[in-house]
C-alpha cells in the first residue's frame, strides 16, 4: 500500500522558536518516514509582511538550514519553496472566484489584524486561499500544524468540497494533525509563544540567549511551582521525572530555572552545531531546495491539468 501524504510549511519571517518546533516542526521530522512528506518554505505567504529582497532571501535560506538541522532528511522528504510551485497562485485565483468575502472575513488572522486597527493588505485577507492551494495541489492527507493554523486547514477542506461540488471531484480532504500537549506552546510570559509577543526562546539560541530567556520567565511569587517555568519544562521531560524534580526543589525558582536552562541547552546545542556545519556549505544545501522544487512543481502541474480541464480552461 502506498503511504499517505503529509504536507506542511513554515513562513520565512524570522528565527523559529521553541513553540514552532514543538508545535509543528518536530512532527515533520518524527513522521518523515511514515508518510510521503512534502515540507516547504512559504515565501509567497511571507510577502504579506517581509518586503525586502535581502531579508526574504536570508530568511528563506534560514528556514532551509533549520529544516536540515532539526533532522529532515532530503532522501525521505521533498523540501521546496512555495514560489518554485507558481501553480499555487493560479489555483488560489480559482478558489478566490468560488469563495465569498464574508467567509474570508471570518478568518482569525484577518479578524485579528482588523481588531488591532491595522489596515490589512489583500494578501493577508486572501492568505487562507493560497494555503488551501498549497495543501490541495499536492493531494495532502495530513497537515501537521499548531492550533493557530487549524482554521486554515478547515478552510482548505471547505474549499475542496466547494470546488468538487461546482465542477467535479478533484481533491482529497486534508486533516490537520495537532498534538494536544503542544497545540499551543506557552512563551516566557505564559501567553502563546509568538514572535509578535516578544516572549520566545529561539530554537537555535546561543547559551547566553537561553539563559536570558529563561531568567526572564515571569513567575508569580508564592506558589510552590512556578507555573510558566513548569509549562516550558514539560516540553522537555516526561511528567514523572518533571514532577519529581519540582517536588525536590519546591519553591526554589532560581534552581528550577537553572535546571530548565540545562535541559534546554542539552536539546538545542547539537541542533545549533548541526546548523552551523550546514551553513559552511550553503550551495550544497540550496541544491536540495532546487531539486525538491522540481519534484513539487511536476506534481502540481499534473494536478493543475486536471483542475484546468474540470473548470473549462483547457481546450487543447
* Residue 193 binding target from ligand TRP, ligand ADP, none, CB below 5 to 8 Å by type: ligand ADP
CB proximity list for 63: less than 8 A, separation 6 or greater? 10, 12, 16, 41
Q: Which is nearer to ligand TRP, 149 or 228 (CB)?
A: 149
Cα(26)–Cα(59) distance, rounded to whole angstroms? 19
Cα(85)–Cα(277) distance, rounded to whole angstroms? 29
Cα(51)–Cα(60) distance, rounded to whole angstroms? 13
The residue within the footprint of ligand TRP, chosen from 18, 41, 42, 46 (CB under 6 A), is: 42
Please give the grid coordinates belonging to residue 246: 519540582
145 binds ligand ADP (CB under 6 A): yes
Cα(172)–Cα(154) distance, rounded to whole angstroms? 13
User: Could you tell me the strand order of the sheet in which 77-81 lies?
Assistant: 77-81, 36-41, 5-10, 142-144, 175-177
The residue within the footprint of ligand ADP, chosen from 192, 233, 257, 272 (CB under 6 A), is: 192
Cα(87)–Cα(7) distance, rounded to whole angstroms? 16
* Residue 135 binding target from ligand ADP, ligand TRP, none, CB below 5 to 8 Å by type: ligand TRP
Please give the grid coordinates belonging to residue 32: 518523515
Can you give 19-59 as a three-state secondary structure string? HHHHHHHHHHHHCCCCCEEEEEECHHHHCCCCCCHHHHHHH
> Which position has the grid cell 556545519?
277
Provide the 3-class DSSP secondary structure of residue 37.
strand
Closest CB 25 distance from ligand ADP, rounded Å? 7
Cα(77)–Cα(140) distance, rounded to whole angstroms? 14
Site string for ligand ADP, 4-33 (x = CB under 6 A): ------xx-x-----xx--xx---------
Closest CB 149 distance from ligand ADP, rounded Å? 4
* Residue 134 binding target from ligand ADP, ligand TRP, none, CB below 5 to 8 Å by type: ligand TRP
The residue within the footprint of ligand TRP, chosen from 18, 70, 131, 213 (CB under 6 A), is: 131
| Residues 143/135, Cβ–Cβ less than 8 Å | yes
* Residue 45 binding target from ligand ADP, ligand TRP, none, CB below 5 to 8 Å by type: ligand TRP
The residue within the footprint of ligand TRP, chosen from 48, 149, 159, 199 (CB under 6 A), is: 149
* Residue 26 binding target from ligand TRP, ligand ADP, none, CB below 5 to 8 Å by type: none
* Residue 299 binding target from ligand TRP, ligand ADP, none, CB below 5 to 8 Å by type: none
Interface ranges with ligand ADP (CB under 6 A): 10-11, 13, 19-20, 23-24, 145-146, 148-149, 182, 184-185, 192-195
Interface ranges with ligand TRP (CB under 6 A): 7-11, 42, 45, 131, 134-135, 143, 145, 149, 152
Amino acid at each position: 500500500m502506498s503511504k499517505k501524504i503529509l504536507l506542511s510549511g513554515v513562513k520565512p519571517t524570522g528565527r523559529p522558536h521553541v513553540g514552532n518546533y514543538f508545535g509543528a516542526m518536530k512532527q515533520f521530522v518524527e513522521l518523515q518516514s511514515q508518510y510521503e512528506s512534502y515540507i516547504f518554505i512559504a515565501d509567497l505567504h511571507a510577502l504579506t509582511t517581509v518586503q525586502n529582497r535581502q531579508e526574504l532571501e536570508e530568511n528563506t535560506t534560514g528556514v532551509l538550514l533549520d529544516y536540515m538541522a532539526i533532522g529532515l532528511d532530503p532522501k525521505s522528504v521533498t523540501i521546496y519553496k512555495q514560489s518554485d510551485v507558481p501553480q499555487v497562485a493560479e489555483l488560489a485565483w480559482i478558489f478566490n472566484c468560488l469563495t465569498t468575502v464574508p467567509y474570508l472575513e471570518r478568518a482569525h488572522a484577518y479578524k485579528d489584524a482588523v481588531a488591532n486597527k491595522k489596515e490589512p493588505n489583500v494578501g493577508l485577507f486572501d492568505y487562507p486561499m493560497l494555503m488551501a492551494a498549497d495543501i490541495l495541489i499536492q493531494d495532502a492527507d495530513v497537515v501537521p500544524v499548531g492550533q493557530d493554523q487549524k482554521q486554515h486547514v478547515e478552510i482548505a477542506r471547505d474549499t475542496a468540497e466547494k470546488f468538487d461540488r461546482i465542477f467535479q471531484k478533484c481533491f482529497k480532504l486534508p486533516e490537520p494533525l495537532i498534538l494536544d500537549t503542544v497545540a499551543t506552546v506557552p512563551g516566557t510570559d505564559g501567553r502563546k509563544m509568538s514572535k509578535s509577543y516578544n516572549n520566545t526562546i529561539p530554537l537555535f539560541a546561543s547559551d547566553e540567549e537561553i539563559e536570558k530567556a529563561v531568567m526572564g520567565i515571569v513567575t508569580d511569587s508564592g506558589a510552590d511551582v512556578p507555573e510558566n517555568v513548569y509549562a516550558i519544562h514539560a516540553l522537555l521531560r516526561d511528567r514523572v521525572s518533571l514532577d519529581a524534580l519540582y517536588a525536590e526543589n519546591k519553591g526554589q525558582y532560581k534552581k528550577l530555572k537553572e535546571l530548565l536552562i540545562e535541559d534546554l541547552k542539552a536539546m538545542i546545542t547539537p541542533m545549533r552545531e548541526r546548523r552551523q556545519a550546514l551553513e559552511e556549505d550553503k550551495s550544497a544545501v540550496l541544491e536540495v531546495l532546487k531539486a525538491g522544487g522540481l519534484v513539487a512543481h511536476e506534481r502540481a502541474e499534473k494536478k493543475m491539468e486536471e483542475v484546468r480541464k474540470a473548470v473549462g480552461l483547457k481546450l487543447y
